[in-house]
Amino acid sequence: MENKALFEKLSSRLDELSNLPKLDDEKSISRLIEEKGFSRREFMGWAGAMTSMLMLPASFTPLVAKAAEMADRLPLVWLHMAECTGCSESLLRTATPSIDSLIFDYISLEYHETIMSAAGWQAEHNLESAMERYKGKYILMVEGGIPHGESDFYLTIGAHGKTGEKIAREASENAAAIFAIGTCSSFGGVQAAYPNPTNATALSNITNKSVINVPGCPPSESNIVGTLLHFILYGTLPALDAYNRPKWAYGLRIHDACERRGRFDAGEFVEQFGDDGAKNGYCLYKVGCKGPYTFNNCSKQRFNQGTSWPVQAGHGCMGCSEPDFWDKMGIVHEPLGNRLYHTVFGGLGSDATADKIGVGILTVTAVGIAAHAAISLIKKPKE
Amino acid sequence: MIKLIEKIEGEAKLNFNFKDNKIDFVDIEFMSTRNIENILKGKSAFDALVINPRVCGICGHAHLIATVEALESCYDNLQISNKAKSLRELTLNFELIQNHFKWFYLTMMPLFGHKQEVLKATYPSQLMGKAIALFGGQYPHTSYAVVGGVVCDITEMDIIKLQHYIEQTVKFVEDNLIKMESESFSTCKSVDNILKYEGDLPDILRQIKKEELLAYGKSYGRFISFGENSYFKKGKSLKTRVNNNIFIEHAKESETATSFAKNVSYKDKYYEVGPLARAMVNKNKLILDAHRKYGDSIFSRILARVSEISQLLKHSKKLIQKLDLNEPSYIEPCIDIKQFSSSGYSAVEAARGTLIHKVELENGFIKNYEIITPTQWNLSGGTREKQGVSQKAMIGLYDIKMAELVFKTFDVCSVCTTH
């Protein structure tokens, strides 16, 4: 019954959207997909995958397909702030010319600094006119941290030399929805790492509008496209966690669905890169995997059209979708449990603390890890 | 007249000065910075392996390889297996290749009045991205290279997948870029021969000839390339005279008053880096022919960059054939990095040219870190008396649109440059 009500709600939302004018009357997303050689069956297959990613029942697939076709009703403005363009790169690398990339290429025509044709004065004009023409209707996606306060001149954009902060604030003012794409716009990102020389900050700190964070460095293409589809389907904000991340993507820890989880549970750890454990796909916690502390769906969605993800390649998670992971997740190749905390017990590592004292002063996860870490061998001492 | 140049993975401000209707001088400014070098200071040495790929999402992999090699150069007698070396080289090749596709289709084609064909850019670059992800786990921003080797343990199955990605990319080249066998393209010695074929590349090259743009974009004809591996050679080339004896100590950065990017020179002279420079140092026959006929013009620059795709694909196939999967991926360093203070450097060839990393360690922590990016070489903003490479290349042009074309043939990237 619950599903039925939701189905009806989403259907009426899509009906409403279909009354809105299209960006271009001559073209449509479904025709574009067909022109590029995709069959309806392939398109529906893609929509089915998207449906399951958004944690909707399979019977909702036609709705998701319709939502994708409605994407050209919603103009999109994509801004680059202080960043490395990695998020755009991640998006451009969506599946082999995939349906997501097609939709994105088609709808992001309004303004995207890296892939749009316009430049200079024309680009600035495009941005201003898109913001004016689609006032209250456009979706704003921002990539990059925002140099803030005294030093916002670390980033100026456009022929008028406006600061990034001013542009982001103006664009946020009349957006229908605001998405911070990537860890930089969500939490400040690498430039905000200590000592944060440019005073970079999250988009949510410079606007009082609701910002949905889609962190990751970079976020996977499916999380970016899924966020957009979710908005088209629901027209409202998704359920969010404490850091304003959509729960459908960031509701579980990397660790919860990790392919090496069984190894962790069995106490089988890689002690050193290149050892037999590494060859046999043991758990990477002891060589610095931050999966137990990181909320994201990488283990399910993977990257580059599902090709792989860091843990599969043998490196372990960096925790890149967590706030300030640069400073708070410790040294990269060491387990977070080795980190010394200033506690009432002195500067003991978190694992050691749990081992020795046996009280859960840390999170349940950390205690679990400590217990498992204790089962396996102590890290080989180095000469 | 001030002109903003965008779509260079960020933007730059060019201030054009005209005299007698010709461009007389161009000021180049970059208006953003993130200060990554300052962020690195005081962090644990290995943290650089995660932070540095984030200097640039476009060439992040080159930054990873440069970082790991800079850290490794701090050790004496560090062992790296041939397998690890080859895997690193392969992934770097793939990054170069996908960059060249995107540059040609997203940036160059529209400047020649052609439709921007996003899918032509994304299709082969996605293939190459997947090839990197096979080893690295994801692309952009992998961290699979660590001090002592790489962390992936690849299987025969991965190799089969990889060969498939390469074959698909080769097919794309043959179907779109130049309709000749990719293998023959990679060994072709004559520009005239290239011009006889069909395809997006010969189309653009013919257009340059037809519209009489052959003399555009010439600079000093001074090239330099520091990155050495099984394909690229190290050296500098003055026109066609090559000298392989060059030293990184002579590559110096200097601050400029108006821009967040620093200038880079070698023995106080500005040099061009990038595919044209690499081809000149490597004495590639096709590019030598182009250079003999048209100098370091936009024609040679475009041809050098695009032809590198086929050359690197071919070389990658060779590297794969030589891979011995029984070798170790990682050999543990005999000393823990926390125990020593040392300094080192590295140079790798990124898509846009030589990328240099210099590191100073104190008890395993970073005391100082310097990054010199390819665009800093090409876009050094010199004075009227001593102009940078791209500044010089724009002098004498009548029209700003043409200057933008010349500027972009250097495939500039402001993300990296304003680290």
Full pLDDT tens readout for chain B, 419 residues: 666 666 555 677 888 899 999 999 998 888 888 999 999 999 999 999 999 999 998 899 999 999 999 999 999 989 999 999 999 999 999 999 999 999 999 889 989 999 877 778 888 998 999 999 999 999 999 999 999 999 999 999 999 999 999 999 999 999 999 999 999 999 999 999 999 999 999 999 999 999 999 999 999 999 999 999 999 999 999 988 999 999 999 999 998 877 888 999 999 999 999 999 999 999 999 999 999 999 999 999 999 999 999 999 999 999 999 999 999 999 999 999 988 899 999 999 999 999 999 999 999 999 999 999 999 999 998 899 999 999 999 999 998 889 989 999 999 887 788 88
The Cα diameter of chain A in Å comes to: 71
Q: Which residue of A has its CA nearest to B400?
A: A120
Is B95:B61 a contact under the CB 8 Å cutoff?
yes
Residues of A in contact with B328 (CB under 8 A): 274
Residues of A in contact with B334 (CB under 8 A): 383
**Which of B411, B389, B418, B383 lies closest to B17 in space, CA to CA?**
B383
* pLDDT given at position A381: 45
Is B118:B183 a contact under the CB 8 Å cutoff?
no
User: A79 lies in a domain?
Assistant: yes
pLDDT tens sequence across A343-363? 555 544 455 444 444 444 444
* pLDDT given at position B14: 85
* pLDDT given at position A128: 81
Cβ of A272 within 8 Å of Cβ of B329? The answer is no
Best B3, B4, B90, B155 member to test A by mutation, with max A CBs in 10 Å, is B4
Query: In this model, does residue A306 exceed pLDDT 90?
Result: no
Among A52, A72, A92, identify where a domain stops.
Answer: A72
Is B295:B401 a contact under the CB 8 Å cutoff?
no
A28 & A126 share domain: no
What's A193's domain CATH number? 3.40.50.700
Is A233:A335 a contact under the CB 8 Å cutoff?
no
A83 & A164 share domain: yes
Residues of B in contact with A113 (CB under 8 A): 6-7, 10-11
Q: Which of B6, B139, B331 is nearest residue A93 as measured by Cβ atoms?
A: B139
Alpha-carbon torsion (B111, B115, B120, B121), positive or negative: positive
pLDDT tens sequence across B356-408? 999 999 999 999 999 999 999 999 988 999 999 999 999 999 988 899 899 99
Q: CA of A304 to nearest chain B CA: how many angstroms apart?
A: 6
* pLDDT given at position A96: 43
Is B274:B282 a contact under the CB 8 Å cutoff?
no
Q: Is B28 annotated as a binding residue?
A: no
Is A106:A129 a contact under the CB 8 Å cutoff?
no
Q: Rounded to two decimals, what is the model's pTM?
A: 0.89
More confident position, B151 or A149 = B151
Q: How far apart are CA B289 and CA B231, in angstroms?
A: 20
| Mean of all residue pLDDT scores within chain A | 81
Q: Tokens for B243?
A: 């000298």
A132 & A229 share domain: yes
Q: Tokens for A281?
A: 């796909």
Cβ neighbour number for residue A248 with a 10 Å cutoff: 18
* pLDDT given at position A110: 53
Interstrand relation of A139-143 and A177-181 (parallel, antiparallel or unpaired): parallel
User: A358 lies in a domain?
Assistant: no
Interstrand relation of B353-362 and B342-350 (parallel, antiparallel or unpaired): antiparallel
Q: How many domains does chain A have?
A: 3
Is A63:A7 a contact under the CB 8 Å cutoff?
yes
A54 & A87 share domain: no
What's A298's domain CATH number? 4.10.480.10
Question: Is CATH 1.10.645.10 what the domain over B2-418 is classified as, yes or no?
Answer: yes
User: A353 lies in a domain?
Assistant: no
Q: How far apart are CA A182 and CA A165, in angstroms?
A: 17
Q: Is B371 annotated as a binding residue?
A: yes
* pLDDT given at position B92: 98
Q: Is A342 annotated as a binding residue?
A: no
Q: Is A372 annotated as a binding residue?
A: no
Among A31, A51, A72, identify where a domain stops.
Answer: A72
A260 & A245 share domain: no
Alpha-carbon torsion (B186, B189, B192, B196), positive or negative: negative
Is B378:B353 a contact under the CB 8 Å cutoff?
yes
pLDDT tens sequence across A312-331? 999 999 999 999 998 888 78
Q: How far apart are CA B48 and CA B52, in angstroms?
A: 5
* pLDDT given at position A354: 45
Q: Is B56 annotated as a binding residue?
A: yes
A21 & A100 share domain: no
CB pairs under 8 A between A and B: 230
Cβ of A273 within 8 Å of Cβ of B330? The answer is yes
Cβ of A87 within 8 Å of Cβ of B151? The answer is no
Cβ of A318 within 8 Å of Cβ of B143? The answer is yes
User: A381 lies in a domain?
Assistant: no
Q: Which of A115, A157, A189 is nearest residue B118 as measured by Cβ atoms?
A: A115
Among A314, A329, A344, identify where a domain stops.
Answer: A329
**Which of B87, B191, B71 lies closest to B134 in space, CA to CA?**
B87
Cβ of B138 within 8 Å of Cβ of A310? The answer is yes
Q: How far apart are CA A148 and CA A205, in angstroms?
A: 9
Q: CA of A301 to nearest chain B CA: how many angstroms apart?
A: 11
- Give CA separation, A127 vs A111, A135, A170, A370, B326, in Å: 6, 12, 11, 52, 55
Cβ of B6 within 8 Å of Cβ of A120? The answer is yes
Show Cβ contacts of residue A67 under 8 Å, excluding neighbours closer than 6 positions.
Answer: A10, A14, A229, A232, A233
Show Cβ contacts of residue B359 under 8 Å, excluding neighbours closer than 6 positions.
Answer: B45, B48, B70, B71, B74, B343, B344, B345, B366, B368, B369, B370
Q: Which residues of B330-359 are buried (b: 16+ CB within 10 A; e: fewer)?
A: bbbbeeebeeeebebbbbbbbbbbbbbbbb
A219 & A147 share domain: yes
Local structure of B83: helix, strand or coil:
helix
Q: Is B141 annotated as a binding residue?
A: no
Q: Which residue of B has its CA nearest to A87?
A: B57
Cβ of B137 within 8 Å of Cβ of A312? The answer is yes
Q: Which of A113, A147, A304 is nearest residue B133 as measured by Cβ atoms?
A: A304
**Which of A336, A289, A335 lies closest to A312 in space, CA to CA?**
A289
Best B16, B29, B39, B330 member to test A by mutation, with max A CBs in 10 Å, is B39
Is A3:A59 a contact under the CB 8 Å cutoff?
yes
Cβ of B143 within 8 Å of Cβ of A88? The answer is no
From edge to edge, which strands make up the β-sheet containing A139-143?
A: A111-112, A76-80, A139-143, A177-181, A212-214
The residues spanned by each domain of chain B are 2-418
* pLDDT given at position B391: 95
Residues of A in contact with B35 (CB under 8 A): 154, 191, 197-198
Residues of B in contact with A224 (CB under 8 A): none
Q: Tokens for B91?
A: 């992934």
Rg over alpha carbons for chain A, rounded to the nearest Å, is 23
Residues of A in contact with B331 (CB under 8 A): 274
User: A295 lies in a domain?
Assistant: yes
Is B214:B191 a contact under the CB 8 Å cutoff?
no
Residues of B in contact with A335 (CB under 8 A): none
User: A279 lies in a domain?
Assistant: yes
Give the 3-state DSSP-derived string for chain A, with helices as H, strands as E and coil as C. CHHHHHHHHHHHHHHHHHCCCCCCCCCCHHHHHHHCCCCHHHHHHHHHHHHHHCCCCHHHHHHHHHHHHHHHHCCEEEEECECCCHHHHHHHCCCCCCHHHHHHHHHCCCEECCCCCCCHHHHHHHHHHHHHHCCCCCEEEEECEEECHHHHHHEEECCCCEEHHHHHHHHHHCCCEEEEEHHHHHHCCHHHCCCCCCCEECHHHCCCCCCEEECCCCCCHHHHHHHHHHHHHHCCCCCECCCCCEHHHHCCEHHHHCCCHHHHHCCCECCCCCCHHHHCCCECHHHCCCHHHCECCHHHHCECCCCECHHHHCCCCCCCCCCCHHHHCCCCCCCHHHCECCECCECCEHHHHHHHHCCCCCCHHHHHHHHHHHHCCCCCCCC
Q: Tokens for B145?
A: 């290279």
Q: Which residue of B has its CA nearest to A154?
A: B32
User: A360 lies in a domain?
Assistant: no
User: A234 lies in a domain?
Assistant: yes
Cβ of A89 within 8 Å of Cβ of B57? The answer is yes
Residues of A in contact with B133 (CB under 8 A): 303-304, 307-308, 313
Element (H, E) at B96: helix B82-102
**Which residue range is the domain that position A220 belongs to?**
74-251
- Please spell the DSSP secondary structure of B209-242, one letter per residue: HHTT-TTTT----EEEE---SSS---EEEETTEE
A271 & A141 share domain: no
Q: CA of B332 to nearest chain A CA: how many angstroms apart?
A: 8
A67 & A115 share domain: no
* pLDDT given at position A220: 87
* pLDDT given at position A74: 78
Q: CA of B195 to nearest chain A CA: how many angstroms apart?
A: 27
Q: Which of A84, A117, A315 is nearest residue B54 as measured by Cβ atoms?
A: A84
Cβ neighbour number for residue A205 with a 10 Å cutoff: 16
Q: Is A160 annotated as a binding residue?
A: no
Show Cβ contacts of residue B113 under 8 Å, excluding neighbours closer than 6 positions.
Answer: none
